Amino acid sequence: MLKNSSIYSKEKIGQRYLHLMKRMFLIFMDIISYYFNIAFPLKVTYIKDPTVKKWITKGIMISRNKLRALHNIKRSINLFMESLKYIQNYQLIF
């Protein structure tokens, strides 16, 4: 019986020691995290909406593509005066 009681008392001491070590570790981690947060504070950032440019409508995009195509035609081909005037007028509008 003496053996059993000594094993039981060793287990109690081991559990107390384990509990004490856990508490000491948590205190240590609290101190480390406190100084870490002081040294490296969180920076507040705001995430912008990816669709910020809502003013560009489908009509503006179509006109831009048409203007680009007319500009390429004007540069690459010799056109009649009527066609050149149409392209110039379209460029003045947009």
In angstroms, the Cα distances linking 67 to 3, 55, 77 are: 97, 19, 15
Per cent of the chain over pLDDT 70 is 83
pLDDT value at 78 more than 90: no
Which two three-digit tokens encode residue 77? 């081909």
Q: What is the pLDDT of residue 39?
A: 94
Q: How many CB atoms lie within 10 A of CB 56?
A: 9
Q: Please, which pLDDT band fits residue 53 given cuts at 50, 70 and 90?
A: low
Confidence of residue 1 (pLDDT cuts 50, 70, 90): very low
Mean pLDDT of 26-33: 96
Q: How many residues does the chain have?
A: 94
> What pLDDT, in 10s, does the model give residues 13-25?
778 888 889 999 9
Domain ranges of the chain: 1-44, 58-93
